[in-house]
Structure 1
Amino acid sequence: MAFSEVPILDLALASDPATKPAFLADLRHALMEVGFLYLKNVGIPDELFADVIREGKAFFDIPLEEKLKIEMKNAPSFLGYSQLSAEITAGAVDHREQIDLSTEHPVPGPGAPAHHNLLAPNQWPSGDVLPRFRPVFTEYMRRMGAVSIRFTSLIAEAVGLPPSAFDKYFDEGPRQQHKLKVVKYPDVAELGLGAAAAGHGQGVGPHKDSMLTSYLLQASAHRGLQVQNMRGEWIDCPPVAGTLVVAIGQGLEALTQGVCCSTTHRVLSPAAGEGARFSIPFFQGVRGDATFEDLETVGVGEVPAAVRAQRAAVLERNGGRLDDVEFTFRKGGVAKTLGEATLRNRVKSHPDVGERWYPDILRDIREQQAREAREKERMSKAGDSGSAGGTNGTQPAAVEAH
């Protein structure tokens, strides 16, 4: 039976040899059946979580002119502030306001590949208006980086691989880059959508995350995050105190030969009168210079047959089957490395930044979209358009947003 709720796992159980086997079994179930889970007791102090939420919300209250000083389109890194409704997912506008941050790096040198521009300094809000924002989020990203690396090693163990199986996909030491967003989703009354939104708007459209794992801190009490089960039903993933929501990305699905499932999800804007929803997702970084052949040909080693058979049984119960998994983040075949694919995806999601810094990539993306639209129209006229929608059987846009 397709899942009807998202499971809660206790990371503290993985530290005790007596309880670790049961934890890994529960984790394997979540990876195969759901592709999402709540994770509690991750080892980050409650005080830091509270600081992150407080500083994150405070960012949206600073004057607009301060936010525009660090607007994303000021730099080629796709780091910085995005105004309301400036991003696109699944071909439609996302109704949210946000700031993108990452593990900081120096500006790349001359002659570096274009995707190295993603490794850059952050655009921080002024310390005069938010003196604690930078230190709080720097510390949070540092701690979350360690949590994500540890948890990925547990995922490897849960599917019968060595704990170090995924290590080669991470950069060593200071070159490692993780990313984070602080997001505000206004309610539909503030958005002015009215009855046209049918009670809700698109906070973020249906999509799958692209890389390995993401970790969402739901920073207000609103519902809105939904995940899609194999029957195509949208299942609420409401805030649960003391937890992070973990999403499995398409990269991990590819690396595990489809054993770990990457699940379609979306965010609905709050209904009128509910006020803004706040969300702080953290995205585990992957080595940008890794090639797709590293993922799809070399891989991490063979997942044991018994584990693959277990995943096949899950799919059979739900009307699916275990195929060779395509990492759809590389759709279009142009990008050769994860960094190149990430850059193209960012240009697609933020065309205002692409227009300024990457006009050639943006032009190529628009030409590809036009070709796809013509092909879709041709197939429709031929009476062979196929099924549409955002179920797990489709290939929605690969983005990283909650």
Structure 2
Amino acid sequence: MTSAGLDIGFVMLHTSPLDVPGTKDAGGMNVVVKAQAEALARAGHRVRIFTRRSSEEPAERVGLAPNLEVVHLAAGPARLLAKGDHEGVVAEFAEALAAEIARDPAQLLHAEHWFSGIAALPAAESAGIPLVVSFHSIAADEDSPLGDGERPESPGRRAGERLIAQAADLVIAVSEAERLTILDRLGGDPARVCVVPLGVDTKLFRPCETRECDERRDWFAHGGRPEVLVVGRLHPLKGFDLAIEAVAAIPSERRPVLRIVGSPPPDGDDYVEGLHDAIARHRMITTVAFEGALRRGELAKRFQESTLVLVPSHSETFGLVALEAAATGVPVVARNAGGLREAVVDGETGILVSGDDPAAWAAAIERLLQDPELAERMGAAARQHALAMSWEASAACLEDAYRAVLTQRMAPA
């Protein structure tokens, strides 16, 4: 990245990069945007992340690093909203964004999620600058396999996603699976949809070192149970209920500890209550731990302490949790769907499982628990897989995409 720096505006209407992943509606998207923005800023670009003010606490502008700041725009009440309710504040956010860009121009806007895309479209048009869009998740039809566990979020989502996919100058997908979904489901133009691979912080997410590994071995030598980790927002789409049923299907004398990391979105209390009911029904209260949302360093330590990581999500455009587990040298048992097929190399870095049969998931878990050499071999391969992916490389791909769009805008019609 040696060319003159760009002035980039990321747009995140419904969630903030300041939120801890696993809280509110913060998840993998927050991690991706913050990591890419930080890498772009380190490379000399000016980056602003525009988000909705959801409380009175943060300042209007919060500096995260040199060349990088978060800008809070007023749209709707300054409080947390359920995700689906954000459609009602899109128009107000769009006006605030357009005014901010008119006052302090950017060279392009990169909208994250369809709410942001709808808001950023008129702002980009009025400023005469390109609009780049990333979806992170795409609404599924009711009869689609990706619809399992996915609740309708707001009435305009499907139409909004199709509009953005066809109106944006460029759509960024995080996997080949997502690119195909954008083309097939949203009618995107193949010439305006490209894949920018994600990255992972392999210094933060790393295998245990000698002393840490010794402590883990001592734990097992003194009868400690292996630990299975599942991470994400406590939402039906993420499949925490399946994780509980899968571990419950393992005989109690061999059953691992299940650690659940994350907290519910604003409208998720009923689902969490159902998870607690299932744990009580299976008499697993002493072998299941709800850890809440963890900051990145704490999460990295939890990965190190785990024997394997479960990713039973019904739909993932890529599966960042799977990549972070891989970087830690921990094998993954994940759903054979979407971008998880690219995040996990089946039989080499982990195991992919099809369907929702708890017995099938339990068998995959037991296969790794009962064969430590296999788990260690897969973990080592997973680490090598992750080392090939960095946020700097991801940001470099983004910069190339941005420059191509800007060049195309300047070309004569």
Instruction: Identify whether the pair has TM-score above 0.5, normalized to the shorter chain.
Output: no
Q: Structure with the greater relative contact order (CA < 8 A, sep ≥ 6): 1 or 2?
A: 1
More helix by proportion, 1 or 2?
A: 2
State which structure, 1 or 2, has the greater radius of gyration over its C-alpha atoms: 2
TM-score, normalised to structure 2, is 0.26
TM-score, normalised to structure 1, is 0.27
